[in-house]
A and B are shown apart, each in its own frame.
Chain A
């Protein structure tokens, strides 16, 4: 159901087709990426975009996909779900993109996903971590790359469950992300170690943390260990106060995502050592193709990669593979192509599961340590935990999704 369009526009389009002749068949495949490129998401999405552009350049240099080049239109959602929906509409209806990618914040990801469902458009979520995206609000038109909160919480719990710590406290942003990151971790931990007790939960407002009083409050609950799901500027400010008040000497700290260069690099040599974290030790990953990828990335932009760089890169490798497998850009074909799609990435092969569209990309779990040479914190003794290891089986995942 489309409204009649401007006659002049159709005429122009016709002229274009006629004039361009055979080249028209080679018109690029347009894709739309909606992300929080300004404000709170910018530290992550900047490198993400570089990763996307690098992937697209490399794909196009090899002749593109189905003989056509890829072209990505980037749009800033300004951290507003309504803004993201507006862009989705414009990208699909005016710019005729084949599919939508991106989204950094969970609620933005959900809004775009719901729009995609209503408007029968393929949506590949790259970063948004909420489980709801592929499970309770999941549908055929949305798939996701990154391991969700549930998976990362579980990876950490599997390690922490083997440790001696019994009294736990947590601090995280008062958002679904923070709460779910903690709940999945806590539930798994209690499964592994029933004597675990929770002595304190703290939920400061996202982006407005006043860390001093929180650190004191945590110290006075005397936990053996602290689970942190803060990120961005909240985490940086927390580290400073916690360091000065001796928190890291008094308890073991587990941090979800906190080994990612995005979050550990800005701390320079103030990064706490000995934390159990999920993250991305790009300096140390030796899977086939990865060191070369890092070298290309550094050469291209003169900057070391962060996880966002890799995610952007893998997102567009996946897009290219999906279109190749679909043999076209029509949405039903893309939906079918993503089911069980295998993609070779610098971090090894990943699969988009047919049952829930969650990719099997995993994360690295390791311990933080200072690297005086580079002047930042790094991850040591790390291990790559693939998604398969922590995801519910496809049968179970199916039950988590609404029937449709």
Chain B
């Protein structure tokens, strides 16, 4: 009994941290619709600031608490600056475009922290007065955790008062419901957005600062918290502070008991919970069904009908690609193949995002399953390499059919997060299923047979596969199917009214996208000669997203350009500096601010 009670307390303490971070994130998304990847960076930054300030400030025991508050305030100010100086410039860009900007900020912050504080792990001071523990139910329990458990509800109460007893709070709630209407009523949106960003960042900062006495400070603490925070936000319902509280409690406590009861699935527990919640309640526990009063306005995702390139351009492009092995050194040939793989990966996501209006955060599942499909069929089923290569995308498509069936029932961010949940489940399976996948040590020696193993031959093989994939996508996009898909994207209700089976249509698109991503995965597997669980993990899902946004959502060539530019930048930068994240992030920032419709969008803009 005492065990269960102490476990409950431990779960509650963790829940309060989740709540602090998730409530800020939820608030920012609710009002500004920005998927703020940099929220985890603010959390990390505040922790490091606290560490330094606590050591530098005078005042003995008070110094620590002053440092916590000061760090949170500094991060809040930074959040405001980021909103005013950077994000404000890209609000008019297509939906989700701000995500690319926050991704660039994540990269930059990670290296800034590494530069100033160093890469070694740090343990900060204990909280003065709360360093010890108290006996509870026959066990010792840290007094700091008790204080945190008490603080959580206070913060929740404070937020409630803010939202329900101040004019600002009323405006925020109104903006969460319908921000166009709030703007139409004469409320200064930009001020509202800035203030929301400041408050959201403050909460992230407070969460990070308060972790100092508990966790070790590392330069990867940003990415380890951000996904979990999004999960909490989505389970609770986007924009709902009470939802975030409820979901934090649920996740915190489930994790605490999960350790006792289901240690094997602890790695995916929260994603399974999220998947179940979303399938049952597609808008989260306390969220409201999204009411789209108007079709998405100025930020329309893509041109109605993609401009076609003339046969001359296509022919010229093909000749160049076919001639590359004659001039490229071996290494650059393999980089070209890597770009092919990612071009398909990104282009398949583009089909969902741009044509279908469905943004996936878990597309790596299908890329990874293409790679694993190839490896498993080659090594365990003993298929010859060409057969394994051809069958691999089918494996990915089958998984897409299964997961897509559930995903297409949801829309917008909920759709995105459910795809992420399924991708994490795939990750957990390949990570834990040692007998088949080799677990985290991966599958080795996935090489093409000798007759195909020279760089130039494999290049042509990959090029052919890429053309098949691209042609498939182009055919689908240009067909009546593709046109209907766009009709659904732009006005689902009208499309439904004229007799379109929306779900079946979107489901089909999902399967096609999974198949093409699978081709990319198979190309990648035989290029690298090995396959690992990280191919299915969330950072891998971010990559095609960044490529699509970078290249331009509105153009059919966007994802291909985005993949090439991103991979080339990455390859070249890593060669010359250890601070590649800083440089890459800075370049992405410049690109985002200069071409807010993506690189390909630049050409569209010139014509307009």
Contacts and interface: CB of A to CB of B under 8 A. Distances in A.
Given A3-B456, A174-B267, A203-B263, A106 B441 contact: yes
A267 B123 contact: yes
Interface in A205-252: 205, 207-208, 210, 212-214, 216-217, 219-220, 232-233, 236-237, 240-241, 244-246
Q: Determine which residue in A39, A42, A201, A213 has the highest number of CB atoms from chain B within 10 A of its CB, and name it.
A: A213
Contact of A241 (B142, B447, B528, B530): B142
Contacts of B216: 232-233, 236-237, 266
Interface of A: 1-6, 9, 37-40, 42-43, 46, 74-76, 78-82, 85-87, 89-90, 93-94, 106-107, 110-111, 114-115, 117-118, 130, 132, 137, 174-176, 201-205, 207-208, 210, 212-214, 216-217, 219-220, 232-233, 236-237, 240-241, 244-246, 262, 266-268, 270
A214 B259 contact: yes
Contacts of A46: 118-120
Consensus secondary structure, chain A interface: helix
A291 to B, nearest CB: 24
Contacts of B218: 40, 207, 232-233
Given A81-B442, A107-B441, A245-B133, A114 B121 contact: no
A208 B255 CA distance: 12
Contact of B119 (A42, A87, A106, A241): A42
Contacts of B256: 210, 212-213
B121 A43 contact: yes
Nearest to B446: A114
Interface of B: 3, 6-7, 10-11, 13-14, 110, 114, 118-123, 131-133, 139-142, 144-145, 213-221, 224, 228, 255-257, 259-260, 263-264, 266-267, 325-331, 333-335, 338, 431-432, 439-442, 444-445, 447, 453-456, 524, 528-530, 532, 534-535, 571, 574-575, 578, 580-581
A43 B217 CA distance: 12
A245 B530 contact: no
A114 B445 CA distance: 6
A75 to B, nearest CB: 7
Contacts of B228: 208
B334 A107 contact: no
B3 A94 contact: no
A39 B121 contact: no
Contacts of B267: 174, 205
Contacts of B120: 42-43, 46, 262, 266
Contact of A217 (B7, B119, B131, B219): B7
Given A42-B219, A210-B14, A217-B259, A115 B529 contact: yes
Nearest to A108: B532
A237 B14 CA distance: 13
A5 B329 contact: yes
Contacts of B532: 81-82, 107, 111
Contact of B121 (A87, A89, A201, A266): A266
B330 A93 contact: yes
Contacts of B219: 38-39, 42
Task: List 3 tightest A-B contacts by C-beta distance, closest first.
Answer: A42-B119, A236-B216, A212-B10
